[in-house]
Each structure stands twice: as C-alpha cells, then as structure tokens.
A = this chain, B = another copy of it.
Amino acid sequence: MKPVRTGLPLSATKPARTGLPLGAAEPGRSYGGPVAARVTLQTIADRVGVSRMTVSNAFSKPDQLSAPLRERILAAAQELGYVGPDPAARALAKGSTGAVGVMFTHSLRFAFTDLVATGFLGAIADELAPTGLSLTLLTSADDGEIVPARDVAMDGALLYSCDWTSRAVDFLHRRRLPLVYVDQDPADDIPSVNVDDRGGARAAARHLLGLGHRRIGLLLSSVRPPYGLRDAPVVAQGHAARQRLRGWLDELGPAAAELITASQDGTGPEQARWGARLLLDRPDRPTAVLCFSDAAAFGVLQVAAELGIDVPGELSVVGFDDNPLAAQVRPGLTTVRQDVAAKGRAAAAALTAAIDRARTGATAPAEHVLLPTELVIRESTGPLT
C-alpha cells in the first residue's frame, strides 16, 4: 500500500499502481462536478504509474529521471491536457513567482503616455525579457479591497516616481521584498539608480548665466503655498525635482533677488501651460526659464508662442530630460539629457541582482548607481538681448 492524495478522507488509500500499461484512461476522479476535474501532477502520476514527485521532476528537473520515463510522462501530460506545474502552487512551494513589479504613484496611464516613462519602462522590459521575469504594473492606489502592493505575488519591485509617503510603498517595504529605488532619495540599505539631476541642473543654470540672463524664472512642480523658494528643495514632490532645483540654486544663488518661481501641479499638458502662464503673464517677465521637465518646457514654448514672445529672442527656455519630442519642437528645446534607456537597464539589473542576493542570502552592500547627465543646447536658448 502506498498512500495517495485523494479527495477522500486520509484513511482511504489506494492500492499501488503496478506500472503495467493501463487500459482506458482514468477520467480523473470526476467527483469535482460535471466538468472535467482539474489535471494535476497526481493525475499524471496515477496515469503513468509513478510518484507525483517523479512527474514534478519530469517538468522541473529533467536530469533527475531517465529520458524514456520522462518521455512517457510528458506524453501522458500532453494527452491529459496538462500544461505544466500550476504557477500559483509552484510560487508557494518555491518561494518565487516569475514576476517583478514596477510601482507608480501617478495613474498608470502616465506609464504609457509620458515619453520619459515609456522609454524607461521599455528598457526595463527589454532587459528583463532574457531573464524570464515578467513585469507587473503596480499602482499606489490603496482605497479598494485589493491593494496591489500588498496583494500581488512578486519577487521584487522597482519604485519609480513614487510618493514616498504612500501606504502602498510602505507595504512593499514591510513585505521585505527586494526593492530598487529609481529617482528616489537613496537609502543606505536599498539599491538605487539615479541620474545626476543636480549636476545637470547646474549646467543648465550656468548656460543661462553665461548667456547673460539674470532675471531667470524657475518652473517647479507641486510646490504649493505657503511654501516658497526657500522650502522648495525640501517640499517639492519627487527626488528628481528637488535635486534639479538644488542644482539651479547652486549656481544662481539661493537668495538671488531676481529669481521668479512658479509651480504647477502634476505633469499634464494643461498643468504645464498653467505653470507657464504664471511666469509669462507677469510684468517683470523673466528673460529665461528653467523648467523641471521637458513636458513643462513645452508648455512654456506653447504659451510663449500664443503671447507672441519670441524664443529665443525674448525668452530662453531650458527643459530637462531630453524627451524625444525636445528635438522635434520648434524651436528645438535646449535641455538636460538623461539616458532613460540606460536608467531602465541599470534598474532592471539592480533588481535582478537584489533578487539573487535575497535568494542566496548573500549580504553584499546595496549599490547606488548615479548616471551622468548632459546639457544639450538647441535653439530655445540664446544670449540676452
């Protein structure tokens, strides 16, 4: 007698299979309902007359059994319509799913509309593909019953443009998942990938100063009253935005009397135009504007055109990111390039490394990658006239 897992109480056992060729196919203990019962490893095992474990090995560890037997098992599986080990069960038993998450605070739509985000994600997808890991898109929504960050099985996650304080991010941490921060304030024990936002911003500011500009507008993101320029490097939303502002102020001087700031909420085109108006409608209109992103800069270019302000004759505009559109708008946008594809590749590599580390129990210190930025001068900036 050998015990066999069945739907019956444990005391019920089945006589051992002899391994002899079977006649008619056993139709899978059909007390599961009128539909065909679920085919599991056990079904195949019974059919072929081997142990469940051997069938498992046939799929997951081919070198653990003889080739002919494996063939027989695979054939039986095919015949019974068994595709392979159930992913959910395997995930539980092995402790690893084949998927990693990417977390956004913004609506997920942002992940597909913003060219900087899509470039980044595309690179991740490409980099992850050969490892066999799939990419799961996570939102920080935590209102519903289901909170992806807490309830989706995954092997690790990328935190990208996330709200630091969201409950979802907290879940991710508390689950002790291998994480990688992208464009976030680095933490000692968590690998991170960042670009040299501050350095790039400095270059942008120096560029304008070199052209003679002194009344320079700064277009910030999500800095609401009562906060002003002094607090902005702290309260602006997003590590990148804060670093960029810091970089500008490094060069311009934090107290520069002639700095004019405006802040927009969010990253959509409407918000960009709104922020642009705040700067361009003023009587003491700046002669140049530094924008926290290209998307924001596009708003400035557009509003300038509407107001009949010549760029770069009357107004210089500098963006950030080198969005693919930056080279295509007229005039071409001077901007600070970051290599989003490289960022994506680095992030994916850091994540797979972190997952490996967690799996093997290795305790290498967390790596912190800082990618360079580069000022790209196009037609939207010119000398003060």
Contact = CB atoms under 8 A, between A and B. Distances in A.
B129 A107 contact: yes
Interface in A337-380: none
A134 B132 contact: no
A153 interface: yes
B144 A130 contact: yes
Interface string A128-164: 0111111111110100111110111110000000000
Given A83-B174, A153-B87, A153-B88, A112 B118 contact: yes
Contact of A125 (B101, B109, B174): B109
Contact of A108 (B86, B119, B122, B146): B122
B83 A171 contact: yes
B150 A83 contact: yes
A91 interface: yes
A20 interface: no
Nearest to A109: B122
A49 to B, nearest CB: 24
B83 A146 contact: no
Contact of A92 (B89, B121, B132, B138): B89
A111 B122 contact: yes
A133 B145 CA distance: 11
A148 B134 contact: yes
Nearest to A110: B122
A126 interface: yes
Interface string A87-98: 111111001011
A116 to B, nearest CB: 11
A88 B92 contact: yes
A81 interface: yes
A349 to B, nearest CB: 16
Contact of A112 (B81, B112, B145, B171): B112
A381 B9 CA distance: 75
18 contacts: A83-B150, A84-B150, A84-B151, A88-B88, A88-B97, A88-B153, A108-B126, A111-B125, A112-B112, A112-B121, A112-B122, A112-B125, A131-B144, A131-B146, A132-B144, A134-B138, A134-B148, A134-B152
Given A118-B118, A134-B138, A134-B148, 18 more contacts: A83-B150, A83-B171, A83-B175, A84-B171, A86-B92, A86-B153, A88-B92, A88-B95, A107-B125, A108-B122, A108-B126, A109-B126, A112-B112, A112-B118, A132-B144, A134-B139, A135-B137, A153-B153
